[in-house]
C-alpha cells in the first residue's frame, strides 16, 4: 500500500503514531496558503514552525525517510499527488481543519489517527452516551479511563520511501530554496528550547506548580503549551513522565492537561462554540476606540497593558494574565469576545483555535461553564495578589518603574495621578462591572 503521511500538528519523529503506518510512504508537510496569506511577514509562529519542520526533515532522514515540503492550498496540492492509496493524518476539530480534510477525503481515502489529544472525542461519555458539558464530571471519568489507557511510545513501522524529489519547497510545480523567505516570511528572533529539556526542568519543580503557577514572577509553569500545540512533543510522553514520578504532586498538572482535552472535546460536540455564544444573547458592544486602546496597551490598567505588551513583543502571555485580560476586555470594556479571540489569534505563539475560542467564552461567561455571567475579575486585586511587587508589570511597562507597587495596584491613584507617558485608566472598574452585569441580566429577559 502506498501512503501519504501528512505531518501537521505532530512535528516530531519520536512517539509519532503517524510513522506506525508502513509500506511505501510519502511524508509531507504543507505550508498552508489559506492560513499563511492572512499573516504578517514577521509572524513569530511561522519561524517556530519552520524551524521544527526543518528539524523533522533531518530526523526523518536519519531513519531512512525524508519530508517533501509544499507551499500552497492543500486541495490543489493533493490533486497533483497521484498513485497513492490513502493519506494518514491526525485529526483536528476546528472549522477550517474539518472543511479542509473533507475536501481531501473526496480525493483520497483519509485515515484519521488520534495524536493531538490524549482521548478520542467519543471516548469520555456519560452512561447514556451523551457528552459531558461540565468539567469536573468529565475529569473524573477521564481520569479513571487514563489509569488503564495505553500511553506507551508509538512503534515505528518498516517503510520504503516513495521515489520523489525532496529538495527545497514545492510551490505551484516550482522548486524553491528551503528557506523561510521562500514562502514570504522573515525569520524572527525567538527562543526555541527542546521540549524534552523543558519537561525535564519542569518535573524538578512540579511540587510548586499548584501553589505558584499563578504568580507572575515565578517560574512554575511548564512552558510546553506551544510544543503541545504543534506536536513537537507527544502528549503521551508528557503523561508518561508525570506518571513516572512516585513522590511528587503531579495531579494539578494532569488536571490541566485533561482540561485541554475537554475544550477540544466540547468543540467536537458543539462546533458552534468556535464563533457563537452558547448562552446569553448579549455579545458585547462594538467600540473601535476602546478596542484600539486595548490593542495598543494603553487602557491605563497596568496588569492589562503589561499583558498586552508581553504578547505583542514575545507572542506569549502568562495564563493568569490571559484570564485577567480577557475578563477586562469582555466585562469592563464590554467588547465582543470574538474581537479578543481574533486579537490573541494574531499574536499568540501557542495559538490553538480550540483553546483560544473556548477560553474567551469562559471569560465572557457565554460558554458552557456553569458559572453565571456575574464572574468579573478585578484587575487591581488580581495584580496586587499575583504581582505584589509589580515585577511583571514594571518589566513590560518600564514607564511605571518609578511608581511604588502599592500605587500601581490602586485604581484611585491611577485615576488622579499624572504619570509621564502612561494614560489614566479609561474605565472605572466598579462602574464597568455594574454595567456589564446589567447588560447580561437584561439579555435573560
Do both 426 and 340 map to the same domain? yes
| Interior/surface letters 108-147, b for 16+ CB within 10 angstroms, e for the rest | bebbebebbbbbebeebeeeeeeebbebeebbebbeeebe
Q: Please state the domain count of the chain.
A: 3
Instruction: Indicate the residue among 115, 139, 167 that finishes a domain.
Output: 115
Do both 257 and 305 map to the same domain? no
The reported pLDDT for the residue numbered 173 is: 87
Instruction: Indicate the residue among 235, 269, 303 that finishes a domain.
Output: 269
Instruction: Indicate the residue among 115, 141, 172 that finishes a domain.
Output: 115
- Residue 285 neighbours by CB under 8 Å, 6+ apart: 334, 335, 336, 439
Do both 426 and 359 map to the same domain? yes
pLDDT in tens, 87-108: 999 988 899 999 999 999 999 9
In a domain, residue 47? The reply is yes
The reported pLDDT for the residue numbered 444 is: 77
Residue 438: CATH number of its domain: 1.10.579.10
The reported pLDDT for the residue numbered 93 is: 87
In a domain, residue 185? The reply is no
In a domain, residue 188? The reply is no
Do both 95 and 140 map to the same domain? no
The reported pLDDT for the residue numbered 92 is: 85
Supply the range of the domain harboring residue 237: 117-153+195-269
Nine cell digits for residue 103: 475536501
Do both 60 and 91 map to the same domain? yes
Residue 235: CATH number of its domain: 1.25.40.80
Nine cell digits for residue 127: 452512561
Do both 128 and 54 map to the same domain? no
In a domain, residue 87? The reply is yes
Do both 110 and 46 map to the same domain? yes
In a domain, residue 144? The reply is yes
- What 3-state DSSP class applies to 28? strand
- What 3-state DSSP class applies to 112? strand
Do both 20 and 132 map to the same domain? no
Q: Where are the alpha helices (DSSP H) in 117-224?
A: 135-146, 195-204, 209-212
In a domain, residue 385? The reply is yes
Residue whose entry in the numeric block shows the C-alpha cell 451523551: 130
Do both 220 and 260 map to the same domain? yes
What whole-number distance in Å separates Cα of residue 398 and Cα of residue 346?
24
The reported pLDDT for the residue numbered 143 is: 97
Q: How many helices (H) and strands (E) does the chain have?
A: 20, 8
**Contact, 238 vs 257, CB < 8 A?**
yes
The reported pLDDT for the residue numbered 312 is: 96
Residue 9: CATH number of its domain: 3.40.50.620
Output the CA–CA distances (angstroms, integers) from residue 410 to 90, 385, 398, 406, in the order listed.
49, 12, 18, 6
pLDDT in tens, 173-225: 899 999 999 999 999 999 999 999 999 999 999 999 999 999 999 999 999 99
22 φψ region: left (φ > 0), alpha (ψ -120 to 50), beta (else): beta
Do both 385 and 337 map to the same domain? yes
What whole-number distance in Å separates Cα of residue 166 and Cα of residue 266?
39
- What 3-state DSSP class applies to 156? coil
What whole-number distance in Å separates Cα of residue 109 and Cα of residue 113?
13
Do both 210 and 301 map to the same domain? no
CA 434 to chain centre: 32
What whole-number distance in Å separates Cα of residue 90 and Cα of residue 15?
13
**Contact, 337 vs 348, CB < 8 A?**
no
Write out the DSSP string of 165-194: --SSEEETTEEE-SSGGGGT----------
Q: What is the mean pLDDT of each run of 10 residues along the chain (445 residues)?
A: 96 98 97 95 97 98 98 96 96 91 96 95 96 97 96 96 96 94 95 96 96 94 96 97 94 97 95 94 95 98 98 95 98 98 96 94 93 91 98 98 97 97 97 95 78
Beta bridge partners of 4: 26, 87
In a domain, residue 280? The reply is no
What whole-number distance in Å separates Cα of residue 360 and Cα of residue 337?
6
Give first-to-last CA distance, the chain, whole Å. Answer: 60
The angle, 0 to 180 degrees and rounded to 10, between the axes of the packed helices 235-243 and 251-269 is: 150
Do both 101 and 32 map to the same domain? yes
Of 49, 19, 15, 48, which Cα lies nearest the Cα of 32? 49
Beta bridge partners of 29: 7, 69
What whole-number distance in Å separates Cα of residue 407 and Cα of residue 413?
6
Kindly report the pTM of this predicted structure. Answer: 0.94
In a domain, residue 169? The reply is no
The reported pLDDT for the residue numbered 445 is: 56
Amino acid at each position: 500500500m502506498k501512503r501519504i503521511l501528512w505531518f501537521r500538528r505532530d512535528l516530531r519523529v519520536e512517539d509519532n503514531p503517524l510513522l506506525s503506518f508502513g509500506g511505501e510512504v510519502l511524508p509531507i508537510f504543507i505550508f498552508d496558503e489559506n492560513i499563511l496569506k492572512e499573516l504578517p511577514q514577521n509572524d513569530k509562529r511561522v519561524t517556530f514552525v519552520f524551524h521544527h519542520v526543518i528539524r523533522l526533515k533531518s530526523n526523518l532522514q536519519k531513519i531512512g525517510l525524508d519530508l517533501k515540503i509544499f507551499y500552497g492550498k492543500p486541495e490543489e496540492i493533493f490533486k497533483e499527488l497521484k498513485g497513492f492509496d490513502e493519506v494518514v493524518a491526525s485529526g483536528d476539530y476546528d472549522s477550517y481543519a474539518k472543511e479542509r480534510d473533507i475536501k481531501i477525503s473526496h480525493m483520497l481515502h483519509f485515515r484519521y489517527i488520534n495524536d493531538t489529544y490524549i482521548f478520542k472525542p467519543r471516548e469520555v461519555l456519560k452512561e447514556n452516551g451523551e457528552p459531558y458539558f461540565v468539567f469536573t464530571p468529565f475529569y473524573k471519568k477521564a481520569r479513571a479511563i487514563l489509569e488503564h489507557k495505553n500511553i506507551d511510545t508509538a512503534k515505528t513501522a518498516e517503510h520504503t520511501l516513495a521515489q520523489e524529489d525532496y529538495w527545497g519547497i514545492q510551490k505551484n510545480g516550482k522548486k524553491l530554496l528551503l528557506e523561510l523567505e521562500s514562502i514570504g516570511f522573515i525569520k524572527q528572533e525567538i527562543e526555541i528550547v527542546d521540549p524534552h529539556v523543558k519537561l525535564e526542568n519542569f518535573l524538578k519543580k512540579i511540587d510548586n506548580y499548584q501553589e505558584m503557577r499563578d504568580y507572575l514572577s515565578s517560574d512554575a509553569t511548564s512552558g510546553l503549551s506551544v510544543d503541545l500545540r504543534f506536536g513537537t512533543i507527544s502528549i503521551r510522553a508528557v503523561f508518561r513522565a508525570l506518571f513516572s514520578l512516585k513522590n511528587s504532586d503531579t495531579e494539578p498538572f494532569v488536571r490541566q492537561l485533561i482540561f485541554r482535552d475537554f475544550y477540544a472535546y466540547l468543540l467536537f460536540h458543539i462546533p458552534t462554540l468556535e464563533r457563537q455564544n452558547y448562552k446569553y444573547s448579549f455579545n458585547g458592544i462594538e467600540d473601535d476606540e476602546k478596542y484600539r486602546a486595548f490593542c495598543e496597551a494603553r487602557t491605563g490598567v497596568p496588569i492589562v497593558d503589561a499583558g498586552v505588551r508581553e504578547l505583542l513583543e514575545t507572542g506569549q502571555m502568562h495564563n493568569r494574565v490571559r484570564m485577567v485580560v480577557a475578563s477586562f476586555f469582555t466585562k469592563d470594556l464590554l467588547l465582543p469576545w470574538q474581537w479578543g479571540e481574533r486579537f490573541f489569534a494574531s499574536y499568540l505563539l501557542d495559538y490553538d483555535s480550540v483553546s483560544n475560542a473556548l477560553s474567551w467564552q469562559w471569560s465572557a461567561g457565554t460558554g458552557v461553564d456553569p458559572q453565571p455571567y456575574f464572574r468579573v475579575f478585578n484587575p487591581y486585586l488580581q495584580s496586587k495578589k499575583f504581582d505584589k511587587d509589580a515585577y511583571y508589570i514594571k518589566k513590560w511597562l518600564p514607564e511605571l518603574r518609578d511608581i511604588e507597587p502599592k500605587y500601581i495596584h490602586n485604581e484611585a491613584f491611577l485615576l488622579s495621578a499624572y504619570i509621564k507617558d502612561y494614560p489614566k485608566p479609561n474605565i472605572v472598574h466598579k462602574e464597568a462591572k455594574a454595567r456589564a452585569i446589567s447588560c447580561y441580566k437584561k439579555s435573560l429577559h
